[in-house]
Chain A
Amino acid sequence: MSTKGTHIPDRLKIPFAGITPAPTQAKGQDLFPTGNWRSIRPVYRDKLPPCNNACGTNEKIQGYLDLVKRGKYVDAYALIKEDMPFPSVTGRVCYHPCEQACNRGKYDEAISIRAVERFLGDLGQALTHDVVKAGKPNGKKVAVVGSGPAGHSAAYQLARLGYKVTILEKSPKAGGLNRGGIPDWVLPQDVLDREIERLVELGVTIKTNVEVGKDVTWNELKKNYDACVLAVGLTEPNSVRAKGENKEGVLYGLPFLRDIGMGTSKVKLGARVAVIGGGNTAIDCAREALRQGAVEVTMITVEANPQEMPAVPEDLHDMLEEGVELVHGRAMTAVLGKDRVEALELHRARFSGAINASPITVNRETPAERFHVDNVIIAVGQRAALGWLPDEFKSERGTIKIDRFGRLGDTHFFAAGDVVQLGSGQPLMVVNAVGDGKRVAFNLDKVLRGEQLEPRTIPVDVIFDLNRMNMTYFPHFPRVHQAVLAPASRRKTQEEVIQAFSEAQAVEEAARCFSCGTCNACDNCYLVCPEPCIARPSRSNGLYKILVDYCKGCRVCIEECPTGCLEGVPELDFDTGVVRMDTAFAISPGLHGRQAEELRNLAERAPKNI
């Protein structure tokens, strides 16, 4: 046999000639490699699920749902903690862009990702020791200004990288917006306290009552620390520039919530309260007003209908359940009253433009309306207080000017969170600030180690199309809903409105996950392969192997993969996997070759030998 230049792997050579078992006999498969029947090769290639892509901090949502499904709760908690320092907080407050993106939403109902995250966060809080450990100290000091979501996240990631982190917080209690912007009935203070304890356990020092620009200057930050992350947030409320806005009884949204959160509130609300604004903070203010003793709360928005309000529909629904009235298409033009607010002057108005820095068209030709109130809470956005910042780093939007890595020029200062995201088109959410803090921490680490900064990679293959998965494997199954306090009973208490999942509920909900585009070790390919040429030492993602010597490229595994992580790639794209045979059946020289040889020699042989 002329095998010059051909390659037959040793493992495929026949041990002794003459006995070739049929493929169906014992060991027959070993001698019958059908890999060269193949023109496409199945390849496990995980894609990005849409939830991971939509999440502000790119939590590995599919990963932890899969672990919850298998009962590996601590592993799931450890996975979530890679990207999210406080799952118990975001499990309560997040506006869950992941659930909006969830592919299951196109099929029946999106998965309650937030509720599972809360289940894991609460589980993590109950652990005696956190799963996350501080990195090996590298001797470098970093200051983080602000202990809100972005600052907390940056400090957490830097501590894990081995930095000595000091958080400077101007309020008497750490927590920033998590404490001051989110009411107790959404996020109980003890939950947040526990998460901050966890941060301190990582070795982070938190200095409260330290305000940048007052107690510590720019130059001191520069001198005393190797690097600094500015996550100061938006602290100053916007005004609506109405006449008489300085009258007693006029409150601003975020300070109103902040004072209650910090326990320093002296506000006593009257019976009739109006809230100006249609965003999420306005909704929180309206609901908090009820709990602070108001009897009748009215929300006055410029938007013409509820759908246009820049608020989360669920929260709006909960607010309306609690009995808050909505008035649309009005703008407050004056606060009427002697010293104290007695009524508001409203005009018809139209909202046009972006969520932030809105130009409002007020129609002054129609007669003004008088609206009796005892208090008015103005919640129309916030801005940053950046008096302490050198002018060269201020942007025209009133934010900190950064490059695409979150860095201020060539300095070792970085900025993250709402103070850079305002007006960038990115919605101002806790989870986006956390993601920003995380990325800035990694960039800071690279700068201090003298490495090249790389721009954020664009996710190349996100599965948005249900046709890329095999939907026959997913029966319709309703979403598990979280229990909610009855509207009448929750109106007056600070108790959490939305209740936690039980273990059974969390597992049931996690089991609904499609695991879009990502192998979740369902074993389907292993079972359906007719050859069988899919091998695995144990049932686990990443351990499935295609035996390319035997795979015929029949596509059965690709078609039957429920999650769409298996792909058919043209075999010619691979240099490997060459198994050469002489004929279709045998590795040894073909039967016909031998017969031909005998027949050719026939004439030369003596008749008795035939």
Chain B
Amino acid sequence: MSYKELTVWTRGIIMDKEGRDIVNSISAAARLEGKYAQAMENYVDNPDRTNAPTRKYCRVSDGVIEHELTYENEQPNIVVLVEGTMVKGWDYMRGMPPGGTLVINTHYTPEYMIRFVPGADRLAQLVCVDAAHLADHKWLYYRLGELGLDRLSTEGAAERNKMVAPDIAAPLIAAVVKTTGIVKMESIEPMIANKRAFEMALDNLHIMPLNPVAA
């Protein structure tokens, strides 16, 4: 039986919706495939503070998920960092079993980013995707575009768009699905609003193979 946990680390307010889109769309796709899935946000992280690191969780299983009283993922198989700088600040590798996958939104190469990853020996692959660039952020002001920050992807009144994955989330979903196969490509693709970024990301992943676990 296959049981996988996915944790998304994102930044409060400014990139909150990106993280939510990732966990929601993957769990919805899994349910369409007949799997059991959960998706939730960690409100204790206080996502209403700009830039504060917040987590979104997703669990996909072939059987019933009995883990219903807690929502913190204890053993994430897949970790997504929606903003690249988070690689320096948080113990996102905590509890990851060997053979995990780390997906980072950054324009740096995996060879550069690996130096910041704590306990990289648990990773089967490190995936870097320049999601901010692929999603083509014309509306970003200052130099936030270069940093991969989406200033307008806010919760609530200022939210730009009610579509699922209209920008940075789309390439990240593509990266997760292509490199881990957690759900099928054809079940998740119809949900994604930014089809162009999703498809471009499939050809523009920087994958660094590390320590695969024998099946």
A and B associate: yes
A residues near B, CB below 8 A?
Answer: 1-7, 35-40, 552-555, 568, 570-572, 575, 577-585, 590-593, 595-596, 599
Given contacts A572-B84, A572-B106, A596-B70, contact A6 B54 (CB under 8 A): no
User: Residue B199 at the A interface, CB < 8 A?
Assistant: no
In Å, the complex CA distance between A271 and B116 comes to: 85
Q: Is the CB of A572 within 8 A of B45?
A: no
Q: Is the CB of A580 within 8 A of B118?
A: yes
List which B34-92 residues lie within 8 A (CB) of chain A.
44-46, 51-55, 69-72, 74, 83-91
**Chain A min CB distance to B86 (Å):** 7
Residue of B nearest to A593 (CB): B72
In Å, the complex CA distance between A595 and B113 comes to: 33
Query: Chain A residues near B148 (CB, 8 Å)?
Result: 39
Per DSSP, are chain B's interface residues mostly helix, strand or loop, or mixed? loop
User: Which of A6, A35, A583, A593 is B45 in contact with, Cβ under 8 Å?
Assistant: A583
User: Which of B44, B45, B69, B121 is A599 in contact with, Cβ under 8 Å?
Assistant: B69
Top 4 nearest A-B pairs by Cβ distance? A36-B89, A5-B119, A39-B85, A5-B118
Per DSSP, are chain A's interface residues mostly helix, strand or loop, or mixed? loop
Residue of B nearest to A37 (CB): B51
Q: Is the CB of B90 within 8 A of A2?
A: no
**Chain B min CB distance to A28 (Å):** 15
Q: Is the CB of B88 within 8 A of A571?
A: yes
In Å, the complex CA distance between A38 and B119 comes to: 22
**Chain A min CB distance to B196 (Å):** 26
Given contacts A572-B87, A580-B89, contact A4 B119 (CB under 8 A): yes
Please list 12 pairs of residues, one from A and one from B, whose beta carbons are closer than 8 Å in the complex, sorted by A's number.
A38-B51, A570-B85, A571-B85, A572-B85, A572-B87, A575-B115, A578-B88, A582-B94, A583-B90, A592-B72, A595-B70, A596-B69
Q: Is the CB of A40 within 8 A of B147?
A: yes
User: Which of B54, B71, B93, B116 is A584 in contact with, Cβ under 8 Å?
Assistant: B54
Query: Chain A residues near B52 (CB, 8 Å)?
Result: 37, 584
Query: Chain B residues near A4 (CB, 8 Å)?
Result: 118-119
Residue of B nearest to A1 (CB): B94
Given contacts A5-B118, A37-B52, A580-B118, contact A585 B88 (CB under 8 A): no
Query: Chain B residues near A581 (CB, 8 Å)?
Result: 89-91
User: Residue B164 at the A interface, CB < 8 A?
Assistant: no
Q: Is the CB of B70 within 8 A of A579?
A: no
**Chain A min CB distance to B206 (Å):** 15
For A553, A583, A590, A592, which residue has the most chain B Cβ atoms within 10 angstroms?
A583
Interface mask (B110-130 → A, CB under 8 Å = 1, otherwise 0)? 001101101111000000000
List which B145-159 residues lie within 8 A (CB) of chain A.
146-149
User: Residue B212 at the A interface, CB < 8 A?
Assistant: no
B residues near A, CB below 8 A?
Answer: 11, 44-46, 51-55, 69-72, 74, 83-91, 93-95, 106, 108, 112-113, 115-116, 118-121, 142-143, 146-149
Given contacts A6-B118, A37-B52, A584-B45, contact A599 B70 (CB under 8 A): yes
**Chain B min CB distance to A213 (Å):** 62
**Chain B min CB distance to A550 (Å):** 12
Q: Is the CB of A38 within 8 A of B72?
A: no
**Chain B min CB distance to A605 (Å):** 15
Query: Chain B residues near A568 (CB, 8 Å)?
Result: 143
In Å, the complex CA distance between A590 and B92 comes to: 12
Query: Chain A residues near B74 (CB, 8 Å)?
Result: 593, 596
In Å, the complex CA distance between A570 and B71 comes to: 33
In Å, the complex CA distance between A395 and B93 comes to: 70
Query: Chain B residues near A582 (CB, 8 Å)?
Result: 90-91, 94
Given contacts A39-B85, A584-B53, A584-B54, contact A3 B91 (CB under 8 A): yes
Residue of A nearest to B88 (CB): A578
**Chain A min CB distance to B119 (Å):** 3
Query: Chain A residues near B95 (CB, 8 Å)?
Result: 2
For A2, A7, A38, A39, which residue has the most chain B Cβ atoms within 10 angstroms?
A39
**Chain B min CB distance to A23 (Å):** 11
In Å, the complex CA distance between A40 and B84 comes to: 11
In Å, the complex CA distance between A554 and B51 comes to: 9
Query: Chain B residues near A577 (CB, 8 Å)?
Result: 88
